Amino acid sequence: MSVKNTENAKQEEAHNSQRDNFSFSFLGDFGLFKNLQKLLSFSDKSFYQHFLLICLLIFFHIFFHILDYQEFLQDSRNFFENSLILTSYDSYFYAKGTKEFLESFNFNIPLLSLFAGIFAKFFGLSFTLSFLSIIASCSFGIIIYIWCFVILKIHSNLSLLSSKILAFLGSFLALTSPHFYQRVGAGYFDTDMLILSLPLLSLLFLYLHLLRENFKFLVFFALFGLLATLWHNGIQNILFLSFLLYLCVSFFLFFKKSYSFFQILQISSLFLIVLTPSYFGFLMLFVLLLLQKSNHKNLILLSFLIALIFSFYFGLFNPIFSQIKAYFFSQTQYSKHYIYASVVFSILETTPTNLINLIVRSNGLLGFILGMFGFLLLGAYFFSKKSFYPFLLLLPFCLLGFASLKLGVRFSMFLAPILSLGFVVSCAFLERFFKSTTLPLSAIFFVLIVSNLSYTLPKPILDNATLSSFKALDKDLKEGDILFSWWDYGYALSYFTKGTLLLDGGRHSGNINYPLSLILLSPSSNLAKNLSLALASKMENLPKSQWNFLYENLLQDYKANPNSFKEILNQKEALLIPKKDVYWILPTQMLALTKNIDSFSSLNIINGKKHKDKFFLLQTDSKNLPTTHKTYSIYENFYTLQTQTGLNLNKIHWQNFTLLLDNDYFYSNIISWIIFKENKTMELIKDEPNLLIYKVKKE
């Protein structure tokens, strides 16, 4: 890659920027679009080429996902009331917000639900929940296309047509990369649909502002940046790191006398608002941009002080530091008095992955190598030219993508923009050696990468029979009745019933998981009944903000420690009687979560140490189960084995499951309730192959 001589163009743009500042209006004008046209080389012919390539991106993205949707159509169990059952547990949280917006124009909902609610007004709720993720995620390909083209146009000797074609290939790879593609398909109604698009668009405008010194680009950086952090607070981590890297480079340039201190303050003040997600932030941005548009130093300083006060008042760093602590520094969660297992390490998507899995999800070996080589090459090129910003602004995506090795596979998708841009840069680098064959070689690499992509598409989280049971249960429920289940099913139950849930995808920390885990893994039916009723009673009398501490509240009421409280709970008489009815909802697939559920109550919350090692294995077949020394007891549907180490194991064949488990698991409530349907203190009111529902007796 080589640099074009753009000095005259930059000077002209600087003059245009100064002139634009005097005519700037928050109602907007065409100045921004004129600058974008100039940057993208928009002649009539060029525009149609861009338009055609972007339309092709959108077409292929939607077409491939429609093919996947056709697979869902092959099985009627994937649909409920003529709508696709959603494929993410969190999807029903946003779906409920969307439904509330449609029914009552409730605006106290997540931004995704608001966006989807407006969309559903025109296209219907069913279509929105099924396909909005596909439609909205097209924006990621478009934004990557612009990123790739802008960098190639400014920093390479490729023709405009070649730059457009390479940008198209790179953005196509971004959209089809498994770590992204799998999280934006039909029914995956989650924030992932725009979680890359919004921060990338915000940083694109910041880069264009740094490149052209145009105030309007700065305005759009701030607006899209705030939208990004409101969309998902995890985006704070990316933009926060981009902010720190921006400061490092800017102060380096400032001490080199090539960058103004007030330019640093100007952009920093906007970053502070962006990193403090609040709808008040839009008002603050309006005020700050009004102060800054005149480019007066005193007003810029004032805007920075206002932003500083605002950000600290709204707790700028609290969510950032709490996430860092949760993911990097703790396998346990500490409360004031007790130590609980951390939920982060109990979720499949947040458990550490390995490099091979990361490469497979990142366009395969060839795509990964070309992408990383190109991105590092881009960094070396920019550093050699002392033009640090483009590389460093995008570096947080790369770091977070590799952090998936510790944080879990869900974060690998942040490598998608890095690898697609890196692929484009690698292909552009070939131009130095194979001038006339750059595009053919790039096309060969592209075909090899695409032909080796490997996907595992998310399936509907429940089947239609289970959801039918949820709806049937809802008819028998009264407003305020309490439903207990594991958190995976909380949002779906909340969407399909009027019941009140303790656990869901947003409330499942170690201290609230502990009592439900204790109920399910205890062998005592009295403990299960008494603790269920006591928790329900506390839920009726305490605000939701205190529900995480229900168990500790009970310990305080009875002046007991966790060990003595178990003895109290084992008594026959109920401690507390709630006003409403209490139910346990047990999808049979919960059996696969038994080890996960046990991880919370198997920890001694007084000292943080594990009580004992236990054995549990569940498979859909018995071919690879561990061998044992001898069988010494055979029953109707299970038999007990003794291992060579003397450990007694019970083997159960049930439905399509084969379980091998020790006595602690064998006598636990979750096994008794689901497999043997033995529950003396609760009434079995729904008994279906995929679901059991118990009503807790109050007498």
pLDDT band at residue 351 using 50, 70 and 90 as cut-offs: low
What's the per-residue H, E or C state across 157-226?
CCCHHHHHHHHHHHHHHHHHCHHHHCCCCCCCCCHHHCCCHHHHHHHHHHHHHHHHCCHHHHHHHHHHHH
Work out the angle between the directed axes of helices 111-123 and 125-155 (0-180°, nearest 10). 110
* Exposure of 161 in the CB half-sphere (CA atoms within 13 A): 3
Question: How far are the Cα atoms of 151, 202, 421, 577 from residue 425, in angstroms, in the given order?
Answer: 9, 22, 6, 67
How distant, in Å, are the alpha carbons of 18, 85, 214, 496 from that of 11? 11, 56, 12, 61
Task: Give the H or E element holding residue 360.
Answer: helix 355-361
Q: Per the domain annotation, does 404 fall within a domain?
A: no
Note the pLDDT of residue 322: 54
Q: What whole-number distance in Å separates Cα of residue 28 and Cα of residue 30?
A: 7
The structure tokens 């390995």 sit at 354
Residue of 606 and 225 predicted with greater confidence: 225
Q: How far apart are CA 418 and CA 395, in angstroms?
A: 8
Tokens at 616, concatenated:
């549990």
pLDDT in tens, 260-298: 888 899 999 999 999 988 899 999 999 999 999 888 889
Q: With a cut of 60, say whether residue 10 has pLDDT above it.
A: no
Which backbone phi and psi does 658 adopt, to 5 degrees? -125, 125
DSSP secondary structure letter of residue 458: P
The answer to whether the beta carbons of residues 692 and 604 sit under 8 Å apart is no
Question: Does any domain span residue 526?
Answer: yes
Q: How far apart are CA 380 and CA 422, in angstroms?
A: 12
Distance from the first to the final alpha carbon of the chain: 79
Residue 529 resides in a domain: yes
Domain-located, residue 130: no
pLDDT digits (tens, 9 = 90+) for 504-558: 888 878 889 999 999 999 999 999 999 999 999 999 999 998 998 999 999 998 8
pLDDT of amino acid 606 = 86
Cβ–Cβ under 8 Å, residues 569 and 527: yes
Q: How far is CA 19 from CA 13, 178, 212, 293, 629, in A?
A: 10, 46, 13, 11, 86
Q: What average pLDDT is seen over the chain?
A: 84
521 near 668, Cβ under 8 Å? yes
Instruction: Give the residue-averaged pLDDT of 144-159.
Output: 89
Q: What is the number of domains present in the chain?
A: 2
DSSP secondary structure string for all residues of 493-539: HHHH--PEES--SSS--HHHHHHHHHHHH-S-HHHHHHHHHHHHHHH
Does residue 446 lie within any of the structural domains? no
Domain closes at, from 313, 332, 367: 313
Q: pLDDT above 70 covers what percent of the chain? A: 86
Is the per-residue pLDDT at 323 higher than 90? no
In tens, the pLDDT along 461-508 reads 998 999 999 999 999 899 989 999 998 899 999 999 999 999 988 887
In a domain, 504, yes or no: yes
CB neighbour list of residue 11: distance below 8 Å, 6 or more residues apart: none
The C-alpha angle with vertex 623 and arms to 621 and 625, in degrees rounded to 5, equals 90
Q: How far apart are the C-alpha atoms of 397 and 144, rounded to whole Å? A: 13
The share of the chain scoring above pLDDT 90, in percent, equals 50
Query: CA neighbours within 13 Å on the CB side: how many for 689?
Result: 7
Q: Three-state SS for 249?
A: helix
Among 313, 330, 361, the domain boundary falls at: 313
Residue 685 per-residue DSSP state: E
Query: Which tokens belong to 90?
Result: 């969190």
Q: Is 540 helix (H, G, I), strand (E, B) or coil?
A: helix
Q: In sequence order, what DSSP letters do the residues of 262-324 get, joined into one string?
A: HHHHHHHHHHHHHTS--THHHHHHHHHHHHHTT--HHHHHHHHHHHHHHHHHTTTTHHHHHHH
pLDDT in the model for residue 667: 92
SS3 640: strand
| Contacts of residue 533, Cβ cutoff 8 Å, sequence gap at least 6 | 574, 575, 576, 577, 578, 582, 696, 698
Which residue's structure tokens are 């995929």?
Answer: 690
Q: What are phi and psi of 695, to 5 degrees?
A: -105, 125
> Nearest Cα to 622, choosing from 661, 590, 652?
652
Highest mean pLDDT pick, 54-63, 253-262, 423-432, 437-446? 54-63
**Rounded Cα gap, residues 47 and 32, in angstroms:** 16
Reported pTM: 0.85
Angle at 406 between CA 400 and CA 412, to 5 degrees: 45
Which residue among 313, 331, 358 closes a domain? 313
> Cα 498 vs. chain centroid, distance in angstroms?
26
> Alpha-carbon distance 640 to 451, whole Å?
49
**What's the CA gap between 502 and 538, in Å, rounded?**
11
> How many CB atoms neighbour CB 305 within 10 A?
11
* Strands 682-688 vs 691-696: parallel, antiparallel or unpaired: antiparallel
pLDDT of 22 > 70? The answer is no
Q: For 35-93, how does the pLDDT look when each residue is reduced to its tens digit (9 = 90+)?
A: 666 666 555 577 888 999 999 999 999 999 999 999 999 999 999 998 999 999 899 99
Locus of tokens 């498994």: 178
pLDDT value of position 47: 81
In a domain, 129, yes or no: no
* Dist CA 246 CA 513 (whole Å): 41
Per-residue pLDDT, 204: 95
117: amino acid identity, one letter: G
CATH of the domain at 509: 3.40.1380.40
| Residue 253 in this model has a pLDDT that exceeds 70 | yes
Q: 252 lies in a domain?
A: yes
Q: What element of type H or E holds 687?
A: strand 682-688
Q: Can you tell me the mean pLDDT for 204-222? A: 91
Provide the residue range defining the domain that includes 15: 1-39+196-231+234-276+279-313
Q: What is the pLDDT of residues 86-124, one digit of tens each?
A: 999 899 999 999 999 998 887 888 999 999 999 999 999
